Amino acid sequence: MPKKHILGDYHYRRAKEIGYRSRSALKLREIFSKHRIVRKGDVVLDLGAAPGGWLQVAREYVGEKGLVVGVDLARIAPLPFNNVVLIQGDITSPATVEKIAEVLPKPVDAVLSDVAPKFTGIHDLDHARQIHLARVSLRVAEHFLKDGGHAVFKVLMGREFHDFLKELQKHFSEAITVKPRASRPSSAEVYVVCKGFKRMD
Ligand SMILES: C[S@@+](CC[C@H](N)C(=O)[O-])C[C@H]1O[C@@H](n2cnc3c(N)ncnc32)[C@H](O)[C@@H]1O
């Protein structure tokens, strides 16, 4: 078996052993431990949150006093914490944005976006649809993120990536591309870690 598959299986098994709902939870944990995106007591908004692996990691970091709000088209099975709020909805819909506003006590400290369409296997099409959703996440972030807040966007690499990265660099003091060890080197996914949101209003 090629080494990359063995590694992929290793990270999948490891995520399951720790009790995470997704393999990508380990990637987010790696990013959080290196880049200090979320602290105890923070309010975090997670877009494209089902089945809930990133929610579990965000809850670990914010602790009992913080708040994590997860949004997805799909229903997310409840997590055993009363400070994890789940919203079933489409992030492109104004009704979902209103629902988010209703549950947030204050501007959010960090936005996470792992939103992704159903993939067709046609790379250019999957990339264009994924970047579109990541841009919608950025619009939602602009609405709710506090001045100086942070964000993480998962993005499928492709020809629109650099324009999107430039857009992120306009909105944040820093936006860098990272590839966690738990992410298969052959996969087209990358993570953009953004710090210091610049509120325009
Ligand atoms: C890769 S999964 C997220 C995995 C999640 N971060 C975890 O660790 O469990 C991408 C999610 O984006 C969601 N999604 C796609 N389009 C969406 C939309 N328009 N609004 C809300 N969620 C959407 C999908 O339903 C899917 O659950």
Given a cut of 60, whether residue 33 has pLDDT beyond it is yes
Structure tokens that stand for 25 in this block: 């939870």
User: Using CA atoms, how far apart are residues 165 and 174, in angstroms rounded to an integer?
Assistant: 10
Q: What is the pLDDT of residues 5-15, one digit of tens each?
A: 555 566 666 67
**Please, what sign has the CA dihedral across residues 144, 147, 149, 150?**
positive
CATH number at residue 38: 3.40.50.150
Q: Mean pLDDT across the stretch 161-172?
A: 98
Structural domain for 135, as ranges? 3-197
Residue type, 162: H
Q: Mean pLDDT for the chain? A: 93
Given a cut of 50, whether residue 1 has pLDDT beyond it is no
Q: What is the pLDDT of residue 15?
A: 72
Q: What is the pLDDT of residues 175-193, one digit of tens each?
A: 999 998 887 877 889 999 9
Question: Which residues, including other chains, have CB under 8 Å from residue 7's CB and lie 6 or more apart?
Answer: 184
Share of the chain above pLDDT 90, in %: 84
What is the value of pTM for the model shown? 0.93
Residue 1 alpha carbon to ligand 1 centre in Å: 30
Q: What is the pLDDT of residue 107?
A: 97
Q: What is the pLDDT of residue 181?
A: 86
Ligand 1 neighbours by CB, cut-off 6 Å: 21-22, 24-25, 48-54, 71-74, 90-92, 114-117, 133
Q: What is the pLDDT of residue 137?
A: 98
Q: What is the pLDDT of residue 172?
A: 98
The best mutation among 92, 115, 191 to test binding of ligand 1, ranked by most ligand atoms within 8 Å of the C-beta, falls on 115
Q: What is the pLDDT of residues 36-82, one digit of tens each?
A: 999 999 999 999 999 999 999 999 999 999 999 999 999 999 999 99
Q: How many domains does the chain have?
A: 1
> DSSP for the chain?
--HHHHHHHHHHHHHHHHT-SSTHHHHHHHHHHHH----TT-EEEEES-TT-HHHHHHHHHHTTTSEEEEEESS--PPPS-TTEEEEES-TTSHHHHHHHHHH-SS-EEEEEE---PPP-S-HHHHHHHHHHHHHHHHHHHHHHEEEEEEEEEEEE-STTHHHHHHHHHHHEEEEEEE--TTS-TTSSEEEEEEEEE----
